[in-house]
Amino acid sequence: MAAKTQTTALFLCLLICISAVYGHKTRSRRPCKELVFFFHDVLYQGNNRNNATAVIVASPQWGNKTAMAKPFNFGDLVVFDDPITLDNNLHSPPVGRAQGTYFYDQWSIYGAWLGFSFLFNSTDYVGTLNFAGADPLINKTRDISVIGGTGDFFMARGVATVSTDAFEGDVYFRLRVDIRLYECW
């Protein structure tokens, strides 16, 4: 009789655990907000101080701070303060700034890790959106996590799909950032 009671108790416990895992309501997977921005990165090259929006602040022993390290920029750490625009024109009025860092972390291919914020202070948006994640540059599009925000983007969560919209050697690149927020307050 005791074995039957233990088997019944075990079965009920298993049933409760399964219903707890699979019995929850699934969330809608449609974004609550979708946005598209461009940010423009002009790397300091030793002679473009007035136009530069990014600078190499650390490099490997064989590198220097006015040119990307070879091979694959490995070991370079860049800090940036880039304008954000609504279109792909660098000279369009900025709606905010992209501020943060990226570092090249792969020895055999172009790849970076990004940690940055979009800071908005315009008539359309006020607040910040925060991003972090790997950026495998060889892929046409890359997904970066949206890990929070303030103001209009308070506690935002989602995904930013990043694609390189323009690239001019080591001096300039423009990223298109398609943002889909799945948690909006």
Of residues 18 and 104, the one with the higher pLDDT is 104
Separation between Cα atoms, residue 60 and residue 43, nearest integer Å: 17
Inter-CA distances, 3 with 11, 16, 71, 130, Å: 12, 20, 67, 55
As a whole number of angstroms, the distance between CA 64 and CA 76 comes to 9
How far is 174 from 90, CA to CA, in rounded Å? 8
Across 99-121, average pLDDT: 90
| Residue 8 scores a pLDDT above 60 | no
pLDDT reading at 15 higher than 50: no
Q: Which residues make beta-bridge pairs with 80? A: 54, 100
Q: What is the mean pLDDT of residues 61-75?
A: 76
Does pLDDT of 16 surpass 70? Answer: no
Residue 12 φ/ψ, nearest 5 degrees: -65, -40
User: What is the identity of the amino acid at 128?
Assistant: T
Q: Position 145: which residue type?
A: S
* pTM exceeds 0.75 for this model: yes
Residue that wins the pLDDT comparison between 91 and 170:
91
Residue 63 pLDDT greater than 90, yes or no:
no
Q: What does each C-alpha distance from 12 to 6, 16, 17, 22, 23 come to in angstroms?
A: 10, 6, 9, 15, 15
User: Which residue in 128, 119, 175 sits closest to 147, CA to CA?
Assistant: 128
Going by their DSSP bridges, the two strands 96-104 and 112-121 should be labelled as antiparallel
Per-residue DSSP letters for 5-37? HHHHHHHHHHHHHHHHHHSSPPPP-S-SEEEEE
* Partners of residue 160 on adjacent β-strands: 144, 179
